[in-house]
Structures are given as C-alpha cells and as structure tokens.
Amino acid sequence: MAALLHEGTAYPAGSRVLEVGCGIGAQTAHLVASSPGARIVAVDVNEASLGQARARLAADSPDAEVEWHCADLFDLPFSDASFDHLFVCFVLEHLPDPQRALLELRRLLRPGGTVTAIEGDHGSVLLHPDSAHARAAIDCQVQLQSLAGGDAHIGRRLQPLLAEAGYDGITVQARPVYVDQNRPELVEGFTRNTFIAMIESVGSDALAAGLTTSADWRRGVADLHRVAEAGGTFHYTFFKALAAKLP
C-alpha cells in the first residue's frame, strides 16, 4: 500500500515539507524514508495522535529530524510562503470545507511549490461476490462520514477542489488496488484489516443513527468477508493529486 500511495513522491534534500494531519505518523514514516534530507514538519490537531507519531518515528527512524506541531490546519503558526511542499493524505475527506482548507494551505506555499493530496473514494468499491447487503453496510460508513461533515467520495473531487482553491498544473492519478487470493498479503493487509475493519468499526454508530438493523448489518459484514475468501475479489481506487502554486 505504501508503494501505491507514495510512488512518485520524493522531496529534494533541504526542502521544507509540511505534512498536514499526520495522525499517528503512518505517512510521515514513508516521507522521511523517501526524502532523506528534506525537512519534514508534521502537524495534527489531535495531541494524542501526534504523541503516537513522535514515538513511532523515534523508534523506527531515530535519525529522522521531524518537527512536530499540535495545531489546527485552519490556524497554523507558520508564515506565508514558508514551505516548498505540502503533503495531505486522508485528511480532506474529514473536513466540512476542504476547499477552504486547500486555500488556507496555499498561503503557506512558496511560489513554485507543490501540494500532494491523496484521498480514497468509497464509490470505487467493486465486490465479488457482489452483495446489496455489503454495499448497504459500506453506505452506512459513507452516510456517517457525511453526517460528521466529511465526504467518503472525495477522491473524485480533488481536481475541482484544487482548481477552485487557486492551484495550477493539477494532475490527478487514479491508483487502483485489486485484490484476490493470489495476493494474500493484500487480502489480509488491505481488504480485511483496512477496508472491512474500517466498515466494521462504525457498526454501533450506524445502528444508533438508525441507518441499519442488527440483522442487516450482520449480513452486510458477513458478505463483505466473503470477498476476502477464496474465489472472492475486491477493488478500491485511491486518487493522488499533484498541483503547484505558480510563481
């Protein structure tokens, strides 16, 4: 998965890179590995996640010099044009106003600098065996994210969002993941432990919000697990955008 998301992203030594919404540092670890010598600044609004990210990097990449900040991306303590590159992964999907976020972040980029934005899109899911119950379970997650102000279908919107926020030279790549039993590491690592686990984690919220019944939820989750068994297949597409701030 890291190769799929990070391929093509490497920043020159000495460049100053802001990772926005670093969470527990899953992407930070890859950024420091693929961009030795770049000066990575990682921010997140969640203090606990930031603490985990620090600990993770200290353990896995003790030589990496990452600067950590607990801050809201709408109120970052950095001057205008103080970064060469921005990296934002799986953050815009959670924001009620992702365009305003991109606009605010653009302020921090030096002219000629770039932004990389990576998002998923739950509308890209293909299941075999297909199941209306499984798709309904996925839709519960989509609806809950929407109720929380986010958009689980944001991948398809990256180009217009970046354009409306004033970026130039926008290119968006669709990066699909296809999984069947011949790729057991992806069956475990992506289909089961990432995608299905994420859907399963919203079960109680979906029931509390009246989006499903216990019986329908159980059936949906059981059908989702069938795609991770022998003979099942699963497809999901991530979207990776690169854009620039013109000099």
Q: Which two tokens stand for residue 178?
A: 């296809």
Write down the least CB distance from residue 117 to ligand SAM, Å.
11
Alpha-carbon gap, residue 88 to 92, rounded angstroms: 8
Write down the least CB distance from residue 213 to ligand SAM, Å.
28
What beta strand segments (E) does 134-246 contain?
Answer: 168-179, 233-244
Do 119 and 90 meet the contact criterion of CB atoms below 8 Å apart?
A: yes
- Nearest CB to ligand SAM, comparing residues 72 and 80: 72
Write down the least CB distance from residue 88 to ligand SAM, Å.
7
Residues in the site for ligand SAM, rule: CB under 6 A?
21-23, 26-27, 44-46, 49, 72-74, 89-91, 94
- Nearest CB to ligand SAM, comparing residues 31 and 179: 31
Do 240 and 159 meet the contact criterion of CB atoms below 8 Å apart?
A: no
Q: Which residues pair with 153 in a beta bridge?
A: none
- Nearest CB to ligand SAM, comparing residues 120 and 232: 120
- Nearest CB to ligand SAM, comparing residues 97 and 130: 97
Write down the least CB distance from residue 208 to ligand SAM, Å.
21
Q: Which two tokens stand for residue 40?
A: 């990575």
- Nearest CB to ligand SAM, comparing residues 65 and 72: 72
Alpha-carbon gap, residue 126 to 234, rounded angstroms: 6
Per the listing, tokens 């999901």 go with: 236
Distance of CA 54 to the CA centre of its chain: 19
**Residue number with the smallest Cβ distance to ligand SAM:** 23
- CB neighbourhood size of 33 (10 A): 14
By three-state DSSP, how is residue 50 classified? Answer: helix
Write down the least CB distance from residue 84 to ligand SAM, Å.
19
- Nearest CB to ligand SAM, comparing residues 60 and 72: 72
Write down the least CB distance from residue 151 to ligand SAM, Å.
13
